[in-house]
Amino acid sequence: MRNFLLTILWMSIIGNAIQFLIMATATWQIISGSYSFSDLTLEVYVTQLAPWLSWIKTVLAAMLGDLGSAILTLPIFVISPMKFVAGLVIGWWANTELKNLSTEPALQ
């Protein structure tokens, strides 16, 4: 259980670091005037600014269908903060559960 929770914790930490970088680059694109707030959608970001994330379009469309297509049309600053907060909550939960686990080795 400890290894599972540590994996969840580290995945949320790394995911939030990447999400923060996405928000920082999107902020820079808006401040520099390349895109407006409403023009910089998730689809535009994934196809034009970070093509290495283009697999996200395929996954969203395959798993969520029309809802996935609707999510792709939302501005990046609507989706990114929600994902960042969700990652914080999941990481906080995993950390809390890790602290509550007994540190004594299991009897065999």
pTM over 0.75: yes
Q: What CA–CA distance (Å, rounded) separates 74 from 98? A: 35
Residues in the chain with pLDDT values less than 70: 102, 104-108
DSSP secondary structure letters along 21-36:
HHHHHHHHHHHTTSS-
Alpha-carbon distance of 2 to 45, in angstroms, equals: 36
Instruction: Say which DSSP state 13 is in.
Output: H
Give the pLDDT of residue 105.
Answer: 65
Distance CA 57, CA 86 (A): 20
- Residue-level pLDDT at 21: 94
**pLDDT value for 7:** 93
Q: Give me the pLDDT at residue 107, please.
A: 61
The whole-chain average pLDDT of the chain stands at 91
The two structure tokens encoding residue 32: 């520099």
Please tell me the distance from the alpha carbon of residue 108 to that of residue 14, in angstroms, as a whole number.
34
Determine the pLDDT at residue 10.
Answer: 95
